[in-house]
A = this chain, B = another copy of it.
Amino acid sequence: MTSRKPPSPELIGRFAAIVGDRYALTDPDTQAPFLTEWRRLYHGRTPIVLRPGSVAEVAEILKLASESGTSVVPQSGNTGLVGAQVPDESGSEIVVSVSRLDAIRAVDPQGFTMTVEAGVILERVQQAADEVDRLFPLSLAAEGSCEIGGNISTNAGGTGVLAYGNTRDLVLGLEVVLPTGEIWNGLRRLRKDNTGYDLKHLFIGAEGTLGIVTAAVLKLFPKPAAREVAIVGLARPEDAVALFDRVKKAAGNSVVAFELMARRGLEFVLTHVDGARDPMAEPHPWYVLVEIASGHGRDEARGLIEETLGEAFEAGLISDAAVAESLDQAADFWHLRHMLSEVQLHEGGSIKHDIAVPIAAIPAFLDEANAAVEKLIPGCRPVPFGHLGDGNLHYNISQPEGADKEEYLARWDDMSAVVHEIVRAHDGSISAEHGIGRLKRHLMDTVRDPLELDLMRRVKRSFDPNGIMNPGRVL
């Protein structure tokens, strides 16, 4: 069993010897960046941060951890939002950072694959694909600092899911160091391979509780020749769902983004972001940002988006629409969307939810949730936005104007209970893309029945019998 006591100085010395003193951080100052995550919900302690420079070193570390019953917290870019990647407050957990495993091992443009190590920053993966005229479509706000090992371990979502899937769908093979220190080479580059259980899917999204992902084979895609972006004004979420239907029918898998925003969010952006401009002359209760890619050429995507929006206008589904006339204007439209999270900081406390429901249930969810939170805290201001095409909404609620921020945030659990109950009634998810970590672990038995939790624990026990990998996260 793992110990909740700090490892002995002798044991710490043995861990340090594996990576060498330069990469064994025991000084509080050099440790600091590894101990806090950016939302600052968690701040932990550790006797040692290890920065292995090879897969063999990772294996040695886990072998020793297994033998000595030492708990291990794997970390890559440290941009996770649920506290899975920082040590707890006990001082008993060691941190293993994979950031030095940053080689791009192979790029195969003809086979549309790339083999990368866990510590490669997502943006570098994107660039390496771009250099061989390919697209790696995973894209999210943290892409300049998050690392692919963490993206895989959390099954990251982001803005490209509608056309390309979640991170899970972008992985062909994995290399994983198991809790015992054994190295599983599952670096397959094949699109089709039916030879036994597909183990990689257990490690993807396991948040480091079953082993440490050290490398992966990623899927690449052709680069679209053109992208067209439009913002649409609508009266109701129902109309947005109907519009999604039409756009999907017209453009199929070329629909790259279909993002819903309430007017309130746009107003926050217009108020707080320098130079932000209302994209339309009149205000509308709801907006959708649509992006369509085309392999063929600009004219095709342009014609398609204009025709589809024109027909939707005639059908009374939409009130107004603006198609970006230039790449700059397309970037401006996206900027309105991307700033939605940040501007909420200027409107006092914000209680956040990362939920998903079946797409057709989105209008009912919004009606019910808006009514329920207003009843709980009159005057609170929902700012729903997110990936309608994936059924994933960031259902954030700003405090009532003039309310006390701390008092408001103290109601987080009450508010979430109300929202999550509605999510469950629609067969939804309380963590669509951010994961469970420590933040939502106490909610697992409200969203998974005892049998499913038992199956997960059986898998955990059979892969990590000593329970050394990221204990207290997920399960």
Show the binding face of A for B, using Cβ within 8 Å.
108-113, 133, 154-155, 157, 161, 163, 165-166, 168-169, 178, 182-186, 188-199, 201-202, 204-206, 210, 221-224, 241, 245, 248-254, 293, 295-296, 300, 304, 356-361, 387, 390-392, 427-436, 440, 444, 447-449, 451-453, 455-456, 458-459, 461-463, 474-475
A370 vs chain B, min Cβ distance (A): 21
By a CB distance below 8 angstroms, the chain B residues around A455 are 178, 184, 199, 463
By a CB distance below 8 angstroms, the chain B residues around A392 are 191-192
| Cβ contact within 8 Å between B194 and A433 | yes
| Cβ contact within 8 Å between B192 and A161 | yes
By a CB distance below 8 angstroms, the chain B residues around A184 are 451-452, 455
Instruction: Specify which of B186, B191, B252 is in contact with A222 (CB 8 Å cutoff).
Output: B252
Instruction: Specify which of B185, B190, B251, B456 is in contact with A295 (CB 8 Å cutoff).
Output: B251
Report copies per complex: 2
| Cβ contact within 8 Å between A192 and B111 | no
Bound: A73/B182 CA distance, A: 34
Bound: A188/B117 CA distance, A: 32
By a CB distance below 8 angstroms, the chain B residues around A456 are 196-197, 199
Bound: A428/B192 CA distance, A: 9
Given A111-B391, A252-B295: A434 and B194 interface contact (C-beta under 8 Å): yes
Instruction: Specify which of B193, B254, B295, B391 is in contact with A192 (CB 8 Å cutoff).
Output: B391
| Cβ contact within 8 Å between A224 and B199 | no
By a CB distance below 8 angstroms, the chain B residues around A161 are 191-192
| Cβ contact within 8 Å between A185 and B296 | no
| Cβ contact within 8 Å between A108 and B358 | yes
Given A163-B253, A186-B452, A249-B222: A196 and B111 interface contact (C-beta under 8 Å): no
Given A198-B201, A202-B202, A459-B462: A113 and B358 interface contact (C-beta under 8 Å): yes
| Cβ contact within 8 Å between A199 and B295 | no
| Cβ contact within 8 Å between A166 and B182 | no
Given A194-B434, A204-B198, A300-B300: A249 and B295 interface contact (C-beta under 8 Å): yes
